[in-house]
Structure 1
Amino acid sequence: MYLNDHDLAQGDALNRLEAGLYRGQIGRRAFIKAALAAGVSLAATHALADAGEMAAISQLYNRQNLKGSYDYIVVGAGSGGAVVAGRLAAAGAEVLLLEAGGSDQVDAVLKPGMWPSNIRSERDWGFTADPSSDVNGRALILPMGRAVGGGSSVNATVWARGHKGDFDHWADESGDPAWSYENVLKIYRRIENWRGAEDAVRRGKNGRLWIEPAQDPAAIAPAMLAAANSVGIPTFDDMNGAMMEGDGGAAIANLRIKNGQRRNIPADYLYGELSKPNITLLTGAEVMGLGFEGTTARAVKFRKDGQNHTVSAKRIVLSAGALNTPKLLMLSGIGDPDELARHGIKTLVKSMGVGRNFQDHVLVAGCIWEYKDALPPRNNLAEATFFWKSDASLDRPDLQPFQIEVPYASEVTSTKFPVVPGAWTIAPGLVKPKSRGRVTLRSANPLDLVQVDGGFLRHPDDMKALLVGIELCREIGNSAPMRAYVKREIMPGNLGKAEMTSFIRDAAGTYFHESCTCKMGTDEMSVVDASLNVRGIEGLTIADASVMPQVSTGNTMAPTVIIGERAADILLGVT
């Protein structure tokens, strides 16, 4: 059953009001008046007002009365950090959560169709990879969330859990079966409130995280599923069920949208804890480095409102993301000694893997068709996807194209082809890249962004896979089930191999899934062990996508939540 317009409007209004109250942006009286006007019952309104007012008061007091020491300091309020901080606070620990960015209570975060406007805004760190001949001399942008919620606030809110083989690989790499699919599936079932097709074996219904298939999708989305099926790709009711235990398939995307509003990860892990005195969320707090006693992490140094602070903790958790987490390690003397010496940084612990093994999914912009009669995009603008293999011998899918309900072209291809507004896209995506990049410091200045050699398309197999992927997308887009939506193919058309290869280099971008720069494992290039402890250091945990040994198959928000859950379980001694 779909929500009607009145239900959506009421839910959206209540979500905004409640968030504003929790953040101290509206007062109790204004909240009660507006909530009653939106149709909320008197009893429910007063209960919500009590909780929200306590949270706002508690956070204002805590921010103005920072302590010198906490049980835990968590750096970064994204998909990993919000999970860890929220769960630690729920268990009674004193937690300081530091977020460099600002509020997530803005339309660009809350409204499903507005998420692309976060890119290159104040909610994006603004990273750019080095220019590379592998992408025809282009410098690809690398958006990363700089706001409460991190990537879960600024990206497309797709809940893609990853393939069974991903987690079994992580278990093999780490030497710990707790990372296996069998165990991770238990966590997913525990945390999910799945609103789609019943699957008692694989999906949870009583967890904290609202997840639904895209509601009332644009007609072109189910048409793409039929088109995929017409070329031999099976369709499924759920992109995260049996489909991701085998060869793949096509499905309507799982989204984190509730009552017509995007939900980032803090909405379900963090905000409910903010009324408690034992957690402080400090926004606009940019971490400058870590403090040590010998090789034990003792403190975090950060800047807030022009003032420098040093606060100690029994344990520090880095959840700053796959670019800023290795940066903080290197600034603190943990990394490749030769690289550190170039910037006058004394080596505390030699860790050759810091910043190496960089991975991101490649998204090609794109295969575009002009509509016969344009349809308005719905939900997150990208409601249908499929996972498939470019080579049947692979153990799991390496391709994940998304249908995007607007024209999606690069800064180069948009000048070479006559793109029109009334158009739609199937964007070929490579989710098992063999190319590897590296993150290094530009200087010893903590305010300088890191330098990123993305390595995109450097391995020849990545281009081979995308050549297969782009022809598969063209076949689907030009198939009989799509004819009602196609006036003409805009790009790339039927190109020869050399021309298509050049097109891919011109069109290549990323999925904004930066990862793997502090990988978990047992070899000398592993930065953390299976318990997410930084090797050679006491008191320091990493809980973000940087610890992935290999990037997950699909959008990375859900696996990053799993990393946060595992970190919390380990820190709290939960078995």
Structure 2
Amino acid sequence: MSDGLQTYKGEFAARVAANQAQRLANLRKTYDFIVCGAGSSGSVLARRLAENPAVHVLLIEAGGSDDRPSVMEPAAWPTNLGSETDWGFVAEPNPELNGRAMPMSMGKVLGGGSSINVGVWARGHRSDWDYFAQESGDESWGYESVLGLYLEIENWQGAPDPLYRGTGGPVFVQPTPDPGPAALAMLDAALELGIPTYDSPNGQMMEGDGGCAISDVLTRNGKRHSIFRAFTYPYLDRPNLTLLTRTQVNRVIVQNGRAVGVEAVRDGVVERFDAAHEVILSLGAIMTPTVLMRSGIGDEDDLRAADIKVLHHLPGVGRNLQDHVSFGCIWEYREPIAPRNSGSEATLYWKSDPALSEPDLLFCQVEFPVPSPETAGLGVPEHGWTMFAGLAHPKSRGRVRLSSGDLLSLPRIELNTFSHPDDLRAAVACVQLCRDLGNTRAFEPLVAREAMPGPLGQADMERYVRDAAVTYWHQTCSAKMGRDALSVVDGSLRVYGVEGLRIADGSVMPRVATGNTMAPCTIIGEKASRYIRAAHGV
């Protein structure tokens, strides 16, 4: 291949490189299926379709090889932010964030977000999946059905648990190995506050009120084991799977109401690839609606404003954008403690109001100081740890819009954080619980002082929250699954009004899942493959 897959090591890697070089030299005009995007969902989907040797699959990825230290070394994930493996999106300036324009990193590399994230495997809460089933009208999206899929795809390395963990699948999941003292202190801190702890965050803990646990992670032999590595890479030596890297999809080609192919840009040249059966967009919650709109599918007023011919009026495209917003609270260590693993080893979910039926707060511990650019001026300790206190179910809704109709133009992102007043109130409660956790007796042996925010009055705390707010990089929901006027796909992930076109990525979530989104996106790819294979008898 032209992009570095030849640098993978070993006999199998050589076979992959030779096969993909041959595929590249003999590109077909038509493939049975075209999967756009090699992230968490697209990687699963391409593999599952290619399992049938009679099916020819083209997988297109805008980014390049994942064979680089920033990806493969779990602790190096922060070095991806702002690099060539990151789309580097920035949301529009937001008056609710004191005029700040929030950076919104997304993976632009084989594996997508699963190659540049913290590596946490979080399945989502029971209520998430039951809500997806309710919105779609398809019971197979419900928790019990999805739990069965998780058992099928996991290769669990922890203590045996046949009710909640599978062992025969491609996803190599393990509890964070040898967690550090701050992570263990977090478990004790939770117990001090009456929050239960669990052996794993995936299982009973996410069927009720929540709790605290050491995170499950996708690492294998000390290296990142992304969804691309788990699903797609083992099939790249097969003649029916073609991978194009550094190739950006510009639009879907629609003729007579049917998706028949894609227009993509490779090495500066516009190329067309046709799909005999289906085109599937797995480009993520920013680029999937962008490509739809550039294809003439979206709100007709927005399309006309960008001078794009309207092929199908679908007003929900780009709407309902959601993300987990986070607020960093930082403590200074008494003595330096080196981060272990990815530097994020413990997680906690809890409720801002005991009357709630499910957790609405998300906490992720990071074993080094992580301020926002605005809070950095408050004084960041040289050695310390951060609690990312976040909203698991924000009520604010954003939108993705076209900036223009030009080839490969990047979109405008209106994240609209805190546009719903309930989110600011929940954020203040979230930070207070965060402070309570960090100031427990459990942390006293490790912590010299609370560096930020400290005990602030209501007005100052609200100002702090607005300045501290950052993304969890969990952008989702901008092409949602459902049955109302703003739904973009049905329960089988087919785009309304366009034949032969589906979406399989986090944009189809009706609401953002509780917790990190990699695992739910893997399930979305798995379910898409089953719908497609059943529809076409492959």
**2:466 paired residue number:** 505
Give CA deviations for 1:495-535 in whole Å, capped at 9, x if unaligned.
Answer: 01111010000000110000000000011110000000000
Tell me the SS of whatever aligns to 1:149. coil
Is 2:136 aligned against 1:174? Answer: yes
Is 2:528 aligned against 1:567? Answer: yes
**C-alpha displacement of 1:288:** 1.4
Correspondence 1:178-327 to 2 at 5 A: 178-314=140-276, 315-327=278-290
What letter matches 2:202 in structure 1? N
Is 2:7 aligned against 1:25? Answer: yes
Name the CA distance, whole Å, in 1 between partners of 2:26 and 2:270: 15
**2:21 paired residue number:** 60
Give CA deviations for 1:420-463 in whole Å, capped at 9, x if unaligned.
Answer: 22111112111110100000000001322110110111111111
Matched positions, count: 534
**C-alpha displacement of 1:206:** 1.6
Name the CA distance, whole Å, in 2 between partners of 1:20 and 1:232: 55
Is 2:378 aligned against 1:396? Answer: no
**1:468 paired residue number:** 429
**C-alpha displacement of 1:22:** 9.2
Name the CA distance, whole Å, in 1 between partners of 2:92 and 2:485: 27
**1:140 paired residue number:** 102
Name the CA distance, whole Å, in 1 between partners of 2:434 and 2:159: 27
Name the CA distance, whole Å, in 2 between partners of 1:287 and 1:531: 23
**1:38 paired residue number:** none
**2:302 paired residue number:** 339
Question: 1:21–1:56: 8 Å Cα contact kept in structure 2?
Answer: no
**C-alpha displacement of 1:21:** 13
Q: Which runs of 5+ in 1 are unaligned?
A: 1-18, 32-47
Name the CA distance, whole Å, in 2 between partners of 1:466 and 1:383: 23
**1:8 paired residue number:** none
List 4+ stretches of structure 1 deviating above 4 A.
19-22
Is 2:147 aligned against 1:165? Answer: no
**C-alpha displacement of 1:488:** 1.0
Question: 2:7–2:67: 8 Å Cα contact kept in structure 1?
Answer: no
Question: 1:22–1:271: 8 Å Cα contact kept in structure 2?
Answer: no
Tell me the SS of whatever aligns to 1:475. helix
Give the TM-score normalised by the residue count of structure 1. 0.91
What letter matches 2:97 in structure 1? V
Give the TM-score normalised by the residue count of structure 2. 0.97
Is 2:51 aligned against 1:90? Answer: yes
Name the CA distance, whole Å, in 1 between partners of 2:3 and 2:495: 38
**2:388 paired residue number:** 427
Cα 1:560–1:210 change in 2 (3 A) is same
What letter matches 1:336 in structure 2? D
Name the CA distance, whole Å, in 1 between partners of 2:94 and 2:250: 30
Question: 1:101–1:123: 8 Å Cα contact kept in structure 2?
Answer: yes
Of the candidates 383, 390, 399, which is equivalent to residue 438 of structure 1?
A: 399
Question: 2:398–2:414: 8 Å Cα contact kept in structure 1?
Answer: yes
Q: Which runs of 5+ in 2 are unaligned?
A: none
What letter matches 2:146 in structure 1? V
Is 2:448 aligned against 1:487? Answer: yes
Name the CA distance, whole Å, in 2 between partners of 1:453 and 1:539: 30
Question: 1:73–1:316: 8 Å Cα contact kept in structure 2?
Answer: yes
**C-alpha displacement of 1:306:** 1.8
Tell me the SS of whatever aligns to 1:354. coil
**C-alpha displacement of 1:393:** 2.0
What letter matches 1:411 in structure 2? P
**C-alpha displacement of 1:392:** 1.6
**C-alpha displacement of 1:299:** 1.1
Is 2:338 aligned against 1:379? Answer: no
**C-alpha displacement of 1:54:** 2.2
**2:317 paired residue number:** 354
Question: 1:196–1:238: 8 Å Cα contact kept in structure 2?
Answer: no
Name the CA distance, whole Å, in 2 between partners of 1:247 and 1:443: 45
Question: 2:326–2:469: 8 Å Cα contact kept in structure 1?
Answer: yes
Name the CA distance, whole Å, in 1 between partners of 2:421 and 2:270: 47
Name the CA distance, whole Å, in 2 between partners of 1:336 and 1:395: 35
Identity of aligned residues (%): 48
Name the CA distance, whole Å, in 2 between partners of 1:426 and 1:268: 30
**1:35 paired residue number:** none
Name the CA distance, whole Å, in 2 between partners of 1:502 and 1:298: 51
Name the CA distance, whole Å, in 1 between partners of 2:205 and 2:112: 28
**1:521 paired residue number:** 482
**1:110 paired residue number:** 72
**2:369 paired residue number:** 407
What letter matches 1:524 in structure 2? A
Tell me the SS of whatever aligns to 2:410. coil
Question: 1:320–1:544: 8 Å Cα contact kept in structure 2?
Answer: yes
Cα 1:22–1:452 change in 2 (3 A) is closer
What letter matches 2:234 in structure 1? G
Question: 1:22–1:52: 8 Å Cα contact kept in structure 2?
Answer: no
What letter matches 2:519 in structure 1? A
**1:531 paired residue number:** 492
Question: 2:3–2:245: 8 Å Cα contact kept in structure 1?
Answer: no
What letter matches 1:104 in structure 2? D
Name the CA distance, whole Å, in 2 between partners of 1:25 and 1:213: 30
Give CA deviations for 1:440-495 in whole Å, capped at 9, x if unaligned.
Answer: 00000132211011011111111111111111111111111110011111111100
Name the CA distance, whole Å, in 1 between partners of 2:254 and 2:195: 54
Question: 1:21–1:53: 8 Å Cα contact kept in structure 2?
Answer: no
Tell me the SS of whatever aligns to 1:246. coil
RMSD (CA atoms): 1.5
Give CA deviations for 1:136-192 in whole Å, capped at 9, x if unaligned.
Answer: 110000101001000001111110000000000000000000100011001000000
Tell me the SS of whatever aligns to 2:442. helix
What letter matches 1:531 in structure 2? S
**C-alpha displacement of 1:197:** 3.1
What letter matches 2:366 in structure 1? I
Question: 1:74–1:97: 8 Å Cα contact kept in structure 2?
Answer: yes
**C-alpha displacement of 1:220:** 1.2
